[in-house]
Amino acid sequence: MIKLTDETGASRDDDQISSTSNPLLHSMTRIMRHVSELKALVKEYYFEVVLSLHECPVCNGDLHMIGQNQCACPLGHVLDPTLSFQRSPCCRVNLERKTFHYTCSKCHQIVPSRFLFDERIFDKTYFRQMMQESRSRDRKRKEELRRLLAESRSNALTFLEEPILDSIPGLAEALDTFVGSEMVGTDGFCYKSAFSMTQYREHILSVIGFGGRLFSTISPMTDDSRKDKAWRFITLLFMEQDQEVTLTQYGQDLLIERWEHEAYA
């Protein structure tokens, strides 16, 4: 972290200066906030128009979006509007929901959903199962590793007689020299980490918004990519424990979502 000193001699962080005294960045932040709010309103209006053409097949009530690929009526009936109301333009049949998209149930061509705004389809059940299987494999691997380490552990060393220092030439003199030497403190070996979980948490919450975000698409906060990925992942684990986000395996990536999805409430 770069420290700068103002005219009074007080030091300030460079990121604090850039976010508070730079008028361009301050204006851009305000514009991005307005764009995000406008996008949310447009999205809400879009779904209101699209769902106005349909009604609940159970009670004939009005429908509103409650989450990604999900809508509900006032009585609480939940359904996938793409599967319920959309037909394939090729064969005019019902659609099937795959892992990443919808397809025609007859010819299996990919069909874009009218009930998705700017997000991709995510099969949460599939990814939840994949995450459980991944954790199960990790648990079995750790148990196997502990078993191998336990089997390879040597037996307890038992001395039947008092060690004789003179049996090793020069050992006693070396020990006397070591005991009489000046001990070096551990302060010089302490690694001063620049990791701030609070900053990473705020950064992650600011980029995931109300939808899902892949781990690989989150912009780094440091130049060291390996450290940044590790610190980002550690922060996400604590955020999941605090019920701020949910983590789902997404192929070789990780899907990050807010714990309570209120984007369509």
Residue 187 lies in a domain: no
Residue 32 shares a structural domain with residue 91: no
Residue 99 shares a structural domain with residue 26: no
Cα–chain center distance at 220:
13
- Domain interval for residue 234: 122-137+200-265
Q: What digits encode the pLDDT tens for the residues 218-263?
A: 888 888 888 888 898 999 888 888 888 888 887 788 888 887 644 3
* Percent of residues, the chain, with pLDDT higher than 70: 80
Residue 127 shares a structural domain with residue 236: yes
Mean pLDDT of 44-54: 90
> Per the structure, how many domains does the chain have?
3
Q: What digits encode the pLDDT tens for the residues 178-223?
A: 776 555 554 554 555 578 888 998 888 888 876 678 888 888 888 8
Cα–chain center distance at 84:
31
Instruction: Give residue 124's pLDDT.
Output: 65
Residue 213 shares a structural domain with residue 236: yes
Residue 59 has pLDDT above 90, yes or no: yes
Q: Is the dihedral of CA 53, 56, 59, 64 positive or negative?
A: negative
The 3 state secondary structure assigned to 90-143 is CCCCEEEECCCCEEECCCCCEECCCCCCCCCCCCHHHHHHHHHHHHHHHHHHHH
Q: What digits encode the pLDDT tens for the residues 148-182?
A: 877 777 777 777 777 777 777 888 788 778 776 55
Beta strands 95-97 and 102-104 are antiparallel
Whether the CB-CB separation of 92 and 107 falls below 8 Å is answered with no
How is residue 103 written in tokens? 């397809």
Residue 128 shares a structural domain with residue 218: yes
Residue 229 shares a structural domain with residue 132: yes
